Structure 1
Amino acid sequence: MSEIATLENSLVEAIAAAHDEATLEAVRISALGKKGSVSELLKTLGSMTPDERKVQGPAINGLRDRVATALGERKNILQEEALNARLAQERADVTLPVQEGPQTRGRIHPISQVIDELTAIFADLGFAIAEGPDVESDFYNFTALNFPEGHPAREMHDTFFFPPDATTGERKVLRTHTSPVQVRTMQMQKPPIRVICPGRTYRCDSDQTHTPMFHQVEGLVIDKTANFGHLKWILEEFCKAFFEVPNVKMRFRPSFFPFTEPSAEVDIQCSRKGGDIRFGEGDDWLEILGCGMVHPNVLRNVGIDPDEYQGFAWGMGIDRIAMLKYGMPDLRPFFEADVRWLSHYGFRPLDLPSLAGGLSV
C-alpha cells in the first residue's frame, strides 16, 4: 500500500473515532494544519520533477479533499448528536402548572387588539393609516364635511365644545368622529387616496352601549373610477376576515349623512340563537356601520374637482365590533381600568387575522 493510501486510512480511522468536536479538531490540525501530515506532503511537491508532480499532485490534493470532506461529515454528525443529547436532557414537563409571575400578568386591551386586527386586514387590502388631532376646529369637524353653519345636521352629534377663543371667538371641539382626518388627508395628498382613520372620538353620551369617549375607524377611497361596487366588496372582505367566517351576507339600507350621497346603513347576516350572536349564518340582521359615496361638496371644500374624481367612505365603532366579536355585554368596563375585567377579556400577544380568514399560524 502506498504512503498516501496508508496515511488516508489512518486519518479516516482517527476521524471516525473522534467522540466530540474537540477531538475532531485535533485530528484536523494533525492532518491539515500548518504542520499537519497532509500539509507536509503538499510541501514536497515543490521539490519534485514535473513528471512526478503530474502523478503526485492530483493524488495528494485528492487526499486533502477527501480528508476535509470526512472531517465535515463527522462534525455534522457530532453536532446533531450533541443537540439530541441536550434536547433529551432539557426536555420540559408540559404537565407542570404555569408559574404566574410579572411576565405573564399583562394583557392586551381588547380595543388595542381590535385596532391591530383591523389595521392588518385593511393593510392587506392596500390601505394606509392616517391620524389627526383629537381637538378640532369647527371647519374640520363640521363645515368641510358639508355641515353648513346653523344646519340641523349639526345636532346629530352631542358635541363637547371648548369656550370661545378670546380673540377670534372660534370654539374648538373634541372631534365627534374621525372624519376630520379624511379632510386633512384630502388636503395634503393628491388622489388616488386609500386610507383608514382609526382613533378616539367624543360625544356627550353614556349608557350600556355609549361612552363619552369611544373609538372609530373610518375608511376613504378617492379615485377617478371608485364606485359603490368597490365599497361593497371591501366591506364584505373585511367582515369575512374580521369575524372569521367564510361567507357573509350584507344588506344596504338607504340613510342620510351630510358628507355622503347616496348614504347607507349596513347590516350583516347573523344568528341570535341561544343568546349568542353568530355571523355568516341565520336569518337575522345586525347593523354594524354606515357608508356612502363622498358628497361632491366635501370634495370641493378640500380642493378636489368632483367632475374628475369621486370616492366612497365608511365608518364603524371599534368598541362595538369588539363587543360583537368577543361577546362583551357592556361598553363601560372598557374604560374603567379594572384589572379583573382585563384579565378576563384581555389578550395575550397573538398573530393577527388576514384576508385568508382567521388568525395566521
Structure 2
Amino acid sequence: MESLKTRIEALTQEINTIVPATKEELEAYRIKYLGTKGLVKEVFGGMKDVAAENKKEAGQVLNAFKQFAEAHYEKYSHLQQGGNGNSKKIDLSLPGSNVPLGTRHPLRIVENKIVEIFERLGFGVAEGPEIEDDWHNFTSLNMPEDHTARDMQDTFYVSQNPDWLLRTHTSSVQARVLEEGNLPVRVICPGRVYRNETISARAHCFFHQCEGLYIDENVSFADLKQTLYAFVTEMFGEGTKVRFRPSYFPFTEPSAEMDISCTVCGGSGCSLCKHTGWVEILGCGMVHPDLLRNFNIDPEKYTGFAFGMGVERITQIRYQVNDLRLYSQNDVRFLKQFTVKT
C-alpha cells in the first residue's frame, strides 16, 4: 500500500509540471498517462498486490489519481482544435458575461412604497397568519354570526368545527395587535387575503391589502384625514385632489370611502375613472367603540381610526394594469417591464 501511494505521489508531481502547448503535446500526454497502455492503467494494475484489508483505501486513492490525470487533460482540451493554441486560448482574466437581473414584482414595488410612506408617518409594520380563526377575522370586528361575509360563497373555510378560514382581510392582524393590549397603537398591516371569487380581469380569489390602525387618546377624524392627505401626496404627487364620501363598515363609525382625482386623465374622464374624474382608493373611519370594548379598551379614554386599501388597486392606478390575472401568471414579458429595483 505504501509503495502504491509513493508511486502515485511521484506521478502527480510529474503531471503538475506538464504544460502542453500544442495539439501534439496534448496527445502525447494522453497516450502516456491515459492510453490503454498508459501509466494510469499501469498503476491500477498494482491493485492485485495490495492486501485485502487495504483494498478499499487503495481504490479511493487510485480513483482520485485517475480523476486528477483526466482533469489535467481536460484543462488543455482546447488545443485539440489545432495550432499552438494561442489563438484559441481562453483568457480567464476577461470579465464574464452579464447576467440579467430580475426586478421586484409590481405588487411588491407598490406595497413597499405604501409601507415606506406610513413608516415615515410613525407607523410600525405588523403581520399575522393567513389561516385565521373566526374571532380574529369576524366576531371581534363587529361581524355577527349572520353577517353576509361569513357565507361560504364569500369565504374559504379550512374547517367549520371550530371555524378556521383563509383570512378575508388584514383587519385580523389589527385584532391580534389590539389583543396584546399595548397602547397606543399605530401600525400598518400589509398582506395577502382571500375571497371566494370567480377569477376574471376584475376579480381574483386572492389579492393584497394594506390596512392601518391608530389608537390613542384624543385621536380625531381630522387626524385620519391629515394622515391620508399626506399619503396621497407622497404616492400620487402634489396637486392630487381628494374627496371623502360617507360609507358603512362594521368596524368603524363614522365611515367613509376616499377618492382621488384620476391621475390618467386629470379629471376630464377616462376608462380608469369610468368618466367621472374620480377613482376610489380606500375605505376608512373612526374605530367603532364596540370594537374597542371587545379588546377591553375604554372608548371613553381612547379613540382611533382605521383604513384599508387594495394594493392591486393602487398598482392599477400607478401602472394602468387593468387585468388582475396578470399579477399571478408569472409572464416574464409582463414582469420585466417593471425595472424599479426597490
TM over 0.5: yes
Quote the residue 2:293 is aligned against: 300
Structure 2 CA distance for partners of 1:200 and 1:276, relative to 1, 3 Å: same
**What is the Cα deviation at residue 332 of structure 1?**
0.8
Partner of 1:261: helix, strand, or coil? strand
1:256 aligned onto 2:252: no
The 8 Å contact of residues 177 and 216 in structure 1, kept in 2 or not, is answered as yes
Quote the residue 1:124 is aligned against: 120
Structure 2 CA distance for partners of 1:227 and 1:154, relative to 1, 3 Å: farther
Quote the residue 2:172 is aligned against: 180
Q: How many aligned residue pairs are there?
A: 242
1:241 aligned onto 2:199: no
Quote the residue 2:331 is aligned against: 338
Which amino acid in 2 is paired with 1:269? S
CA distance in 2, matches of 1:157, 1:183: 24
Quote the residue 1:317 is aligned against: 310
Structure 2 CA distance for partners of 1:275 and 1:262, relative to 1, 3 Å: closer
The 8 Å contact of residues 139 and 145 in structure 2, kept in 1 or not, is answered as yes
CA distance in 2, matches of 1:147, 1:304: 18
Quote the residue 1:71 is aligned against: none
Which amino acid in 1 is paired with 2:184? P
1:209 aligned onto 2:202: yes
Q: Which runs of 5+ in 2 are unaligned?
A: 1-95
Match of 1:224 among 217, 222, 225: 217
CA distance in 1, matches of 2:310, 2:97: 35
**What is the Cα deviation at residue 297 of structure 1?**
1.1
The 8 Å contact of residues 217 and 301 in structure 2, kept in 1 or not, is answered as yes
- Fraction of identical pairs, as percent: 48
Which amino acid in 2 is paired with 1:198? P
CA distance in 2, matches of 1:156, 1:233: 38
CA distance in 1, matches of 2:153, 2:283: 15
Which amino acid in 1 is paired with 2:183? P
Which amino acid in 2 is paired with 1:210? A
CA distance in 1, matches of 2:252, 2:152: 15
Partner of 2:209: helix, strand, or coil? strand
CA distance in 2, matches of 1:123, 1:138: 30
CA distance in 2, matches of 1:274, 1:100: 48
Q: Deviations over 1:176-225 (max 9, x none)?
A: 00001001111114221110000000001122122111000000000111
Q: Which runs of 5+ in 1 are unaligned?
A: 1-98, 351-361
The 8 Å contact of residues 115 and 198 in structure 1, kept in 2 or not, is answered as yes
CA distance in 2, matches of 1:247, 1:272: 12
Q: Deviations over 1:305-339 (max 9, x none)?
A: 11111111000001110111112121111001111
Q: Deviations over 1:91-146 (max 9, x none)?
A: xxxxxxxx9842x3311110111111111111110110000000000000000000
Structure 2 CA distance for partners of 1:233 and 1:157, relative to 1, 3 Å: farther
The 8 Å contact of residues 269 and 276 in structure 2, kept in 1 or not, is answered as no
The 8 Å contact of residues 221 and 313 in structure 1, kept in 2 or not, is answered as yes
The 8 Å contact of residues 153 and 258 in structure 1, kept in 2 or not, is answered as no
Quote the residue 2:278 is aligned against: 285
The 8 Å contact of residues 236 and 248 in structure 1, kept in 2 or not, is answered as no
Quote the residue 1:199 is aligned against: 191
**What is the Cα deviation at residue 257 of structure 1?**
0.7
Structure 2 CA distance for partners of 1:325 and 1:132, relative to 1, 3 Å: same
Which amino acid in 2 is paired with 1:213? F
Quote the residue 2:102 is aligned against: 106
Mapping 1:45-64, distance limit 5 Å: none
Partner of 1:163: helix, strand, or coil? strand
Structure 2 CA distance for partners of 1:153 and 1:333, relative to 1, 3 Å: closer
Quote the residue 1:329 is aligned against: 322
1:146 aligned onto 2:138: no
Which amino acid in 1 is paired with 2:254? P
CA distance in 1, matches of 2:116, 2:97: 31
Moved more, 285-294 or 269-278: 269-278
**What is the Cα deviation at residue 150 of structure 1?**
1.9
CA distance in 2, matches of 1:136, 1:129: 19
TM-score of the aligned structures, taking structure 1 as reference length: 0.63
Which amino acid in 2 is paired with 1:139? W
Which amino acid in 2 is paired with 1:135? I
**What is the Cα deviation at residue 247 of structure 1?**
2.5
TM-score of the aligned structures, taking structure 2 as reference length: 0.66
Mapping 1:48-87, distance limit 5 Å: none
The 8 Å contact of residues 261 and 267 in structure 2, kept in 1 or not, is answered as no
Which amino acid in 2 is paired with 1:137? D
The 8 Å contact of residues 267 and 278 in structure 2, kept in 1 or not, is answered as no
Structure 2 CA distance for partners of 1:228 and 1:157, relative to 1, 3 Å: farther
